[in-house]
Amino acid sequence: MFVFISALLGSILFSFFVERFVKPAPPQHCVKCIILQSLIISQCYLLLSLIVQRPIFSALAISIFLIIVVAVNNAKYKALKEPLVFSDFAMFSQAFKHPRLYFPFLGMAPVIIAPVLIIGLIILVIKLEPALPFVWQRFVATLIASILLFIIIKRIALSLVITGEPEKDNQKLGLINSLIAYLLQASRPAHKTALKEALNSSFFNDGEANDTHKSTPPHFFALFSQKEQNHKPNITVIQSESFFDARRLHPNIKTDLLSHYDRIKNESILHGELEVPAWGANTMRSEFSFLTGLPSDQLGLFRFYPYQFLKAQRIFSIASFLKNQGYYCVCIHPHPASFFGRDKVFPQMGFDAFIDSNEFKQAEKFGPYISDKSVTEKILEVTKQHIDKPLFIFAITMENHGPLHLEKTQAEELKQFYTKPINTDADLNDLSIYLRHLRNADLMIETLTNYYRQSSTETRLCFYGDHIPSLPGIYQIMDYRNPNSDYFIWSSKNRSTKDTAKSLPIENLALELLSKSV
């Protein structure tokens, strides 16, 4: 019993010690928070010891898990300016299916060395610590204690006042408490009801939802609906991975890097900076706001990973609206459709087809991912195949996806990106790699607009970045703090002759796109 209690107390004390290393700032625990964290660790310890019947092993396993959680939190904050949140655990399996997208941000040494050390420690402790003899009275007492602890933990966690801002709540409550509080509060029926009401409030709601929550569609929806089928324009939307006008970073970056973007922007119906709910990653947040017209903060705690909770209900979106107007709606993405659960969610949004990595097996890559050129070719192929009805294409590119530091540039290549060297002792490789791929996004714009100009069918092209790239070192060197990406809306038949610059939140972009199509 002494070993059992000592190991438990050791786990609790270690949990408070390891939280002192949480970034961006260690927590300032209140009395309730100290009690809650102690109960959470106790609950984990009791359940694990109930299974393995080894108190020291249980304490060690919990301590190792806490170290991993803090390390992942710190790595995420460094790369994305956001702490670990409860919904990140739902993407745990994706890290192993697509390790290149996740593990390099932790550093290669920890990813390789940590599992070896962990497995070695576990094997050593199991060999040195024999399992306790099974005593049914102890088993039952531990089980009852675990159930009671869970009831108390749930009550305390639900009583905590959270802001919904992870950085603030982590400092106020502690990382462990915040993760549990977010999880339990997000699971409340009232929170799920609020999400459903938010979805029904979308201006793409076509009236099939409960009239109590039905939004009033903008007036141009009716005008759009009245258009004859053969007069409705094709609509292509490019969600360009990590696209933004990087020339804002430093004056030494060549202005002609985005020459085609500049030309089309000047011809566009609308263009400007785009306010997005993500920094460096979390594409699905920007994507969801664009497609549904819903601001991220309207989703409550579900905004961190909206697709996680929406795989079994209809979602009003630009695709569902256009489908009702006779459009064929297709998503093109050179990555598995199962990523983020898009294969389950996109049909609920009204998409007729999803062309994923299975259709890009022979496609050209540029760097580690399918090139923007290959995505462009697939867009044009789909466009030529569907001429009997208006077409809506939502293409999600992949070429410029990080981690960028795994690629390298040559000294001679840098002359293509900079007018003269940037005077700094820091390594600018990540930026140069980004500019290399950004140039291909610019070529994508040229190829698509050249084709659409020659087509007899009018096409509206909306091009935007889902977020700025993850370049934490570069941003620090250049003191860059602007989170906005960029966008433009262009028509093959209607070129602007006046200044059309306008900053937009991303949830209004689809609305602007359709209003300019009337």
pLDDT digits (tens, 9 = 90+) for 34-81: 999 999 999 999 999 888 888 998 999 999 999 989 999 999 999 899
Q: Residue 28: which region, alpha, beta or left (left: phi > 0; alpha: psi -120 to 50)?
A: beta
Tokens of 63: 């301590």
Q: What local confidence, expressed as pLDDT, does residue 237 receive? A: 98
Assign 311 a pLDDT band (cuts: 50, 70, 90).
confident
More confident residue, 25 or 98: 25
Strand partners, 275: 505
Mean predicted confidence (pLDDT) in 317-329: 94
More confident residue, 199 or 15: 15
Q: What local confidence, expressed as pLDDT, does residue 100 receive? A: 67
**Virtual torsion, Cα 258, 264, 267, 270, nearest 10 deg:** -90
More confident residue, 118 or 268: 268
For 316-368, strand residue ranges (E) read 328-332, 353-355, 365-366
Helices (H) and strands (E) in the chain, counts: 18, 10
CA distance linking residue 43 with residue 175, whole number of Å = 17
Residue 442: which of 393, 397, 508, 473 has the closest Cα? 397
Q: What local confidence, expressed as pLDDT, does residue 138 receive? A: 77
Q: What local confidence, expressed as pLDDT, does residue 105 receive? A: 61
CA distance linking residue 440 with residue 258, whole number of Å = 9
CA distance linking residue 133 with residue 302, whole number of Å = 45
**Whole-structure pTM value:** 0.90
- For residue 253, give the DSSP letter: B
CA distance linking residue 289 with residue 276, whole number of Å = 9
- Residue 518 clears pLDDT 60, i.e. is over it: no
- Residue 96 clears pLDDT 70, i.e. is over it: no
Q: What local confidence, expressed as pLDDT, does residue 135 receive? A: 78
Domains in the chain, please, with CATH? 2-187 (no CATH), 234-515 (3.40.720.10)
Percentage of the chain modeled with pLDDT above 70: 90
- Map tokens 């489908």 to a residue: 323
Q: What local confidence, expressed as pLDDT, does residue 122 receive? A: 76
Cis peptide before 24 (omega within 30 of 0): yes
Mean predicted confidence (pLDDT) in 283-310: 92
- Residue 142 clears pLDDT 70, i.e. is over it: yes
Q: What local confidence, expressed as pLDDT, does residue 109 receive? A: 61
User: Do 260 and 417 touch, CB atoms closer than 8 A?
Assistant: no
Q: What local confidence, expressed as pLDDT, does residue 210 receive? A: 41
pLDDT in tens, 183-226: 999 999 888 888 888 888 888 886 444 444 445 556 666 666 66
Taking all residues of the chain, what is their mean pLDDT, rounded to a whole number?
89
**How many C-beta neighbours within 10 Å does residue 379 have?**
21
State residue 371 phi and psi, 5-degree precision: -75, 155
- Residue 173 clears pLDDT 70, i.e. is over it: yes
- Residue 112 clears pLDDT 70, i.e. is over it: no
Mean predicted confidence (pLDDT) in 248-269: 95
Q: What local confidence, expressed as pLDDT, does residue 53 receive? A: 86
Residue 400: which of 435, 351, 437 has the closest Cα? 437
User: Do 294 and 199 touch, CB atoms closer than 8 A?
Assistant: yes
For 407-466, strand residue ranges (E) read 459-465
Q: Say if residue 123 is exposed, middle or buried (CB neighbours under 10 Å; 0-12, 13-18, 19+).
A: exposed
User: Do 488 and 270 touch, CB atoms closer than 8 A?
Assistant: yes
CA distance linking residue 76 with residue 81, whole number of Å = 7
Q: What local confidence, expressed as pLDDT, does residue 337 receive? A: 94
Q: What local confidence, expressed as pLDDT, does residue 390 receive? A: 94
Mean predicted confidence (pLDDT) in 242-261: 96
CA distance linking residue 256 with residue 261, whole number of Å = 9
The CA-atom distances, in angstroms, between 19 and each of 6, 22, 27, 42, 475 are: 20, 5, 7, 16, 27
- Residue 97 clears pLDDT 90, i.e. is over it: no
Give the up-direction half-sphere exposure of residue 316: CA atoms within 13 A in the CB hemisphere. 22
User: Would you call 222 helix, strand, or coil by DSSP?
Assistant: helix
User: Do 403 and 421 touch, CB atoms closer than 8 A?
Assistant: no
- Residue 108 clears pLDDT 90, i.e. is over it: no
CA distance linking residue 88 with residue 86, whole number of Å = 5
The CA-atom distances, in angstroms, between 367 and each of 364, 376, 437 are: 10, 16, 9
- Residue 415 clears pLDDT 90, i.e. is over it: no
- For residue 501, give the DSSP letter: B
For CA atoms 72, 78, 79, 82, the dihedral sign is positive
pLDDT in tens, 330-355: 999 999 999 999 999 999 999 999 99
- Residue 427 clears pLDDT 80, i.e. is over it: no
Q: What local confidence, expressed as pLDDT, does residue 242 receive? A: 97
CA distance linking residue 200 with residue 212, whole number of Å = 9
User: Do 187 and 50 touch, CB atoms closer than 8 A?
Assistant: no
CA distance linking residue 461 with residue 381, whole number of Å = 16
- Residue 505 clears pLDDT 90, i.e. is over it: yes
For 244-401, strand residue ranges (E) read 270-275, 328-332, 353-355, 365-366, 369-370, 391-396
CA distance linking residue 436 with residue 423, whole number of Å = 20
Q: What local confidence, expressed as pLDDT, does residue 110 receive? A: 64
Q: What local confidence, expressed as pLDDT, does residue 499 receive? A: 74
Q: What local confidence, expressed as pLDDT, does residue 211 receive? A: 44
Q: What local confidence, expressed as pLDDT, does residue 212 receive? A: 42
